Amino acid sequence: MKDIITNNKGNFFVWFTVLAALLIVSVVYIVFDDIFQNELLTLATDLGVSTTITDTLRMAWLAFPVIFLIGLMFYAWARGQKSEFDTGIY
């Protein structure tokens, strides 16, 4: 049986992409969390937007990091299953 040689460079690019995306989204989320929760939703309530809509927006904002993290982990798992990676370096 032939040994399969794994391409570790491809795994590096996958995990680098995952960590970079996680870092960028985390910083943006932390910066805008207070603005969104306190300012934007309060302004929407003051302007007469329904509480159902603001509650839905608040729930989506709070659930976004979990959904994004699950998506990143699925991406990393799916890309890690490939035997040959598309690194863009030829």
Fill in the amino acid letter for 15.
W
Question: Between 90 and 82, where is the model more confident?
Answer: 82
Q: Is residue 24 a part of any domain in this protein?
A: no
Q: Is residue 88 a part of any domain in this protein?
A: no
Range of the domain at 58: 31-80
| Cα gap 45→14, rounded to integer Å | 42
* pTM for the predicted model, two decimal places: 0.69
Q: Is residue 4 a part of any domain in this protein?
A: no
Domain count, the chain: 1
Q: What is the pLDDT of residues 35-80, one digit of tens each?
A: 998 999 899 999 999 999 999 999 999 999 999 999 999 988 888 7
**Contact by Cβ (8 Å): 40, 54:** no
